[in-house]
Structure 1
Amino acid sequence: MTATAPLVFVVDDEPAMLDIVTFALETQGFTHQSFRSAEALWVAMHHTVPDLIVLDVMLPGVSGITMCRRIKSTTQVPVILLTAKGESSDRIAGLEADADDYIVKPFHPRELALRALRLVRRPSDLSQTMVAGPYELDPAGDCVYISSVRVLLTPNEFKVLMTLIAQPGKTLGFDRLLLAGWRDADRMGGRQMLKTAVYRLRHKLESAVPGSGEAIESVRGSGYRLNIP
């Protein structure tokens, strides 16, 4: 990784798609390495950890979904999944694999590049530590401390939690949280995407400090709120 140009690993078995994706990323200042299989990506990650991975789902050998799970079990690198399948079940499978974003082919190259840029940026509005009850957000934008226990978060999870912590006890609507986490309140399957992210967030908090995951309350038909003890 470099301090000036974020490094992205792009994985697709179609040369034409690799060219489209890498060119789009170059327009936003990324450097990149390209791979034709998930296995080749995995070997490269033993030597270099990128700032972002753009990963096709339909790959020969190990699938993108399987590789995404493997990546997320060992690192916090953001992952964008690409696929020609648009069914909701496929989107849910990607999100359950802990993917940070999911884009269906065909897509606009600039949209992909801007979504990629969003994932490697640190939250710009967090200039100092944000604290609410036992929760303390790290200004670096990648974790939360619960009574001094560190919990690593993905960029989307961090932004959702940051928004909830900023207004403890207040119910925040689905659109508000989708805008905070993904900058898009109108995405197809957005509520299911948010639901999956909150489920993962609760699980991480609960695993670190029993009882902490229950603080994020679902408000039926409205959204979520963070209850501070």
Structure 2
Amino acid sequence: MSDSKILIVEDEPSLSGILRDYLQAAGYTCAQVFDGAEAVVQFKAYAPDLVLLDLALPGKDGMDICQEIRVFSDTPIIMVTARVEEVDRLVGLETGADDYVCKPYSPREVVARVKAVLRRHQRAPGDAVAAGLVLDEAAGRASLFGQDLGLTQVEFRLLRTLASEPGRIYSRDQLMDHLYLDRRVVTDRAVDSHVKNLRRKLGESGDAWIHSVYGAGYRFES
């Protein structure tokens, strides 16, 4: 059972209630918001571990809410949409979201997505992600065989993101969404520069763990 807190931002009370019931049955604590204009205020007050965020909301659009939250928080966000035309943007996670679900959906699928996203983000402090490589989430530090790597916060987020799903290819745009919480405008080549610096700090393991995928992006292989 989990004690994680989920904020459900959904303007349809029946759907919100179904999601709440399924998530509570899975051990989560839930709060509900029905108006987009109240979402960020409730987010700050409730301090959830994950947000289920509907795209089409009264008061404020889900994409605007997501981008507003990303200015000050990297709390995982799962977008929920019935807009087929928005799926391409959500697939690329251009909104800053961590995952998306399309309506109509199975509540069980949503619970499974919540569990998967939380697993990626709730890595225990001092958790080893590869031989000798330890990430301390609470301190925002990484060490290799006990030696602090001296990573910047952007480099730490880059390493954490890549290592969270070994084998997955992240595009530069996807990585930028994880690296810059203030949504600043930078070129995708900034990611290449951060990868170069991260590899250098990892020493001989850098090139072995962080692979360039031509025309696609980067992946982590431990």
TM-score (norm 1): 0.66
Measure the CA separation in 1 of the matches of 2:48 and 2:61: 20
- 1:124-139 equivalence runs, <5 A: 128-129=127-128, 137-139=134-136
Secondary structure of 2:7's counterpart equals: strand
RMSD between aligned residues: 3.9
Distance 1:222 1:33, change over 3 A: closer
Paired residues of 2:37 and 2:58 also in contact (CA < 8 A)? no
Aligned length: 192
Distance 1:213 1:28, change over 3 A: same
Equivalent residue number for residue 184 of structure 2: none
Paired residues of 2:81 and 2:102 also in contact (CA < 8 A)? yes
Secondary structure of 1:81's counterpart equals: strand
Equivalent residue number for residue 177 of structure 1: 168
Equivalent residue number for residue 161 of structure 1: 163
Measure the CA separation in 2 of the matches of 1:222 and 1:90: 17
Measure the CA separation in 1 of the matches of 2:211 and 2:17: 44
- 1:66-215 equivalence runs, <5 A: 66-87=64-85, 88-92=87-91, 95-121=93-119, 122-123=122-123, 128-129=127-128, 137-140=134-137, 143=140, 145=142, 147-151=150-154, 153=157, 158-162=160-164, 176-177=167-168, 194-195=170-171, 196-201=173-178, 211-214=193-196
Secondary structure of 2:80's counterpart equals: strand
Instruction: Give 1:6 shift.
Output: 0.8
Measure the CA separation in 2 of the matches of 1:27 and 1:7: 13
Percent identity between the aligned chains?
26
Equivalent residue number for residue 20 of structure 2: 22
> Which residue among 52, 57, 82 is the counterpart of 1:54?
52
Secondary structure of 2:193's counterpart equals: coil
Q: In the alignment, residue 177 of structure 1 is paired with which amino acid? A: R
Measure the CA separation in 1 of the matches of 2:139 and 2:84: 30
TM-score (norm 2): 0.68
Distance 1:147 1:209, change over 3 A: farther
Does 2:8 align with 1:10?
A: yes
Secondary structure of 1:55's counterpart equals: strand
Distance 1:92 1:115, change over 3 A: closer
Distance 1:212 1:131, change over 3 A: farther
